[in-house]
Amino acid sequence: MKTIAVLGTLDSKGHEHQFVADIIRKLGHTPLLIDLGSGDDPQVTPDITRFQVAEAAGLDLQPILDRKDRGECVTAISQAAPVLLAKLAAEEKIHGVISLGGGGGTALGTAAMRALPVGFPKLMVSTLASGNTAHYVGTKDITMMPSIVDVAGLNSISKIIFTRAAHAICGMVEAEIDQSDSKPLIVASMFGNTTDCINIAAKVLEDAGYEVLIFHATGTGGKTMESLIESGMVAGVLDITTTEWADELVGATLSAGPTRLDAMTKAKVPAVISPGCLDMANYGEKETVPEKFADRTFYIHNPQVTLMRTNAEECAELGKILAEKANANPAPTAILNPLKTVSVISAEGQPFHDPEADAALFSAIHEHAKVEVINYEEEINSEVFAKAAANKLLELIG
């Protein structure tokens, strides 16, 4: 018997969630009704009240409710629900989660689900499931199921959908996953300009008994990789391609946000880091580049992608960021510098060759790093550098 959290605004959608809870119980599992409402009293009796949800994040909900500001109330619950769900999951008090809702309910339900690790069963039945769900799903494996009709009472259609949804979440928690042949995981970041490096390094790591998962450093790729690292499922990090930080610094299109490189610290995972492709920031068509960068060096990667060369000042800041992120990791960590080139197009004779900017980058890394820094008189895609990075990670993992 497994426990399945049933999340919802029980002041307005209570009977729908009770319907799902009853089916979960009939299927042999234990539903845990959690009230995320902030309006009228719940229509059904929750197992965890809205006040207990708020308490999980140290919030006193009553004064917030008394101010009758719906936005403030929803914000408080959306901050507290992820804390509660993560705690319940970590303590193995829940084994799956389902929620039903419209716009508000979907925002609340998925906010809580995004706090759960990859692989944890998550199902959101939503009126918004057929549209753009990127900001609801984020980088987590949330299953979005269209509600077809509004989540507003029970009718002949909604009963079918909600029944199927209840069976689906029960099926998810009952699924037995064969991991008898699983290998420990290493994640690696890659760009087109660092493909050869990662391919060579991955072979070394695979020969050592690891499975290597490669993420394209396109913003979403970096966020997804960070999410997986934070889940605790990863044994090591080969973050060769940290280019997303260049986009974050200059405001370009492939930023993974300011928390990029934080997951290794939260999960205490050994890591090898390199300033791969920090020579470039990514924009769309040439006309999308901000006017303030008009005098910079550009490379047209394709008609839809314009690369901008980072200058010495930006590279110095990027080197500092890289070093400080590495310093924060309590697990064994090293930074490896390929001194000849950090990408294919920054090599001598290539359009982004800029010795001054590269020197600023490497100098800042050395100035600010407290972890081990190793320089190689190699290009980033050389066999020597790639194998050195892989072998260093194996050493750090121990």
* 246: CATH: 3.40.50.12030
- Which of 136, 153, 174 marks a domain boundary? 174
Apex 7 CA angle, 4 and 10, nearest 5: 130
Do residues 209 and 242 lie in contact, with contact meaning Cβ atoms separated by under 8 Å? no
Q: Does 334 map to a domain?
A: yes
Structure tokens at 133: 């769900």
Quote the pLDDT of residue 341: 97
Nearest-angstrom CA–CA distance, 290 and 277: 21
Quote the pLDDT of residue 88: 98
Q: Are residues 218 and 90 in the same domain?
A: no
Quote the pLDDT of residue 94: 98
Q: Are residues 281 and 199 in the same domain?
A: yes
Q: Which domain holds residue 144?
A: 3-174
Quote the pLDDT of residue 48: 98
Q: Are residues 252 and 119 in the same domain?
A: no
Q: Are residues 307 and 351 in the same domain?
A: yes
Q: Does 275 map to a domain?
A: yes
Do residues 191 and 216 lie in contact, with contact meaning Cβ atoms separated by under 8 Å? yes
Q: Does 180 map to a domain?
A: no
Q: Are residues 199 and 168 in the same domain?
A: no
Q: Are residues 9 and 42 in the same domain?
A: yes
Q: Are residues 288 and 380 in the same domain?
A: yes
Q: Does 291 map to a domain?
A: yes
Q: Which residues of 22-61 are buried (b: 16+ CB within 10 A; e: fewer)?
A: ebbeebebebbbbbbbbeeebbbebebbbeebbbbbebeb
Half-sphere exposure of 258 (CA within 13 A, CB side): 0
Quote the pLDDT of residue 181: 83
Nearest-angstrom CA–CA distance, 356 and 374: 20
Do residues 198 and 239 lie in contact, with contact meaning Cβ atoms separated by under 8 Å? no
Do residues 357 and 318 lie in contact, with contact meaning Cβ atoms separated by under 8 Å? no
Q: Are residues 339 and 222 in the same domain?
A: yes
Residue 7: partners with Cβ closer than 8 Å, 6 or more residues away: 17, 34, 36, 81, 85, 97, 98, 99, 108, 109, 112
Quote the pLDDT of residue 12: 86
Q: Are residues 100 and 223 in the same domain?
A: no
Quote the pLDDT of residue 322: 98
Residue type at 65 in one-letter notation: L
Q: Does 307 map to a domain?
A: yes
- Which of 120, 141, 174 marks a domain boundary? 174
Quote the pLDDT of residue 365: 98
Q: Does 241 map to a domain?
A: yes
Residue 259, Cβ density class (10 Å: 0-12 exposed, 13-18 middle, ≥19 buried): middle
Three-state SS string across 21-64, please? HHHHHHCCCEEEEEECCCCCCCCCCCCECHHHHHHCCCCCHHHH
Structure tokens at 240: 């060769």
Nearest-angstrom CA–CA distance, 231 and 225: 10
Q: Does 179 map to a domain?
A: no
Q: Does 212 map to a domain?
A: yes
Nearest-angstrom CA–CA distance, 7 and 13: 10
Mean pLDDT by 10 residues, the chain (398 residues): 96 94 98 95 96 95 90 92 97 98 94 94 96 92 96 95 98 91 95 96 98 97 95 95 98 97 98 98 95 96 94 98 98 98 96 97 98 98 98 97
Quote the pLDDT of residue 184: 96
